[in-house]
C-alpha cells in the first residue's frame, strides 16, 4: 500500500489500485488494515530518528546509531543499517507493542535532487 498526506488529509492506494481517504494517515491505515499503525512516527523512525518533541528512551550502538527507541508506546528496534556510505540509514526495523509487531525492510534509499 502507498500512503500520501496533504493539508486535506491522507489517501491510501492499495495494491489492487483502490484509493481510500481519511482525515489523517493513522486513521487511514486503521481503516484500511484494521490495525492501529504508527504512521506519523514512521516518517521519522524509518530514517533512524526519534519523533521531535515526543518523550523517548534511546539506546545507541557503538557507532552512535539508534539501536532501540521506545516512543509513543512503541518499541522500535533498528536491527540492521546499510553499509557505508549510507550507514546512518536503517535497512531493517522491527516495531512492537504487546498486541502487534511490524517488520520493515528497506531495499534502497533514494536521495532527493
Residue range 16-50, pLDDT digits in tens: 888 888 888 888 878 877 777 787 788 899 989 99
φ/ψ of residue 19, rounded to 5: -115, 130
Instruction: Say what the pLDDT of residue 57 is.
Output: 97
φ/ψ of residue 56, rounded to 5: -155, 150
Sheet arrangement for strand 100-105: 56-60, 66-71, 74-81, 90-97, 100-105
- For residues 48 and 71, membership in a common domain is answered with yes
- For residues 106 and 59, membership in a common domain is answered with yes
- For residues 92 and 74, membership in a common domain is answered with yes
Domain span at residue 58 reads 38-113
Q: What CATH number corresponds to the domain at position 48?
A: 2.50.20.10
Average pLDDT for 55-70? 94
Overall domain count for the chain: 2
pTM of the model: 0.75
Average pLDDT for 6-25? 84
- For residues 57 and 102, membership in a common domain is answered with yes
Amino acid at each position: 500500500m502507498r500512503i500520501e498526506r496533504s493539508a486535506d488529509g491522507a489517501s491510501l492506494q492499495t495494491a489492487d489500485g483502490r484509493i481510500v481517504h481519511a482525515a489523517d494517515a493513522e486513521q487511514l491505515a486503521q481503516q484500511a488494515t484494521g490495525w492501529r499503525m504508527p504512521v506519523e512516527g514512521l516518517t521519522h523512525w524509518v530514517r533512524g530518528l526519534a519523533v521531535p518533541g515526543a518523550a523517548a528512551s534511546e539506546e545507541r550502538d557503538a557507532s552512535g546509531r539508534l539501536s532501540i527507541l521506545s516512543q509513543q508506546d512503541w518499541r522500535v528496534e533498528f536491527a540492521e543499517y546499510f553499509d557505508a556510505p549510507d550507514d546512518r540509514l536503517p535497512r531493517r526495523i522491527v516495531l512492537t507493542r504487546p498486541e502487534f509487531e511490524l517488520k520493515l525492510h528497506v531495499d534502497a534509499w533514494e536521495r532527493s535532487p
